[in-house]
Amino acid sequence: MEAGISEYRPEAKPPPQDEFWKALGLPSGRLALHAAVKEGVPYTVYTKLAAASGLESQELARYVVISPATLRRRAKAGRFRLDEGDRLCRFAVVFKSAIELFEGDRERARRWILDPVRGLDGRRPVEMVTTTVGTKAVLNLVGRLQHGVFS
């Protein structure tokens, strides 16, 4: 008589959500984040991002190019438009990368994104998040610094 051996199938669990994104109220996966930006980033993400980054609300608005009047309208509406939400997410991605660069030290990360950086020809990383190309340049620099490639 043969004994049957059943195949082990572990329970499928979704990957854990990154705590940074969870704290902001956004999904951490690229496709889910893309969908969230397309449907309109909730205004609460803006306030949480300002708090997480240690920036004043108006200061963050200036860095992501959202005028005070537009900010008031989005607060009433509860959501940002696609382009505004995209800039907010780019800022969040850069800030999260800086936190990782400084091994969880948010204050050092905040100072780094606000100060001129030699690897960006003296530009401040926060100034670069207004465009996709600028954001990629900052993320490229962070990657190089994490891997010890300084040129």
What percent of the chain has pLDDT above 70? 87
pLDDT in tens, 51-107: 999 999 999 999 999 999 999 999 999 999 999 999 999 999 999 999 999 999 999
Residues 78 and 42 sit within 8 Å (Cβ to Cβ): yes
pLDDT at 116: 97
In tens, the pLDDT along 98-112 reads 999 999 999 999 999
130 contact partners, CB below 8 Å, separation of at least 6: 63, 64, 65, 87
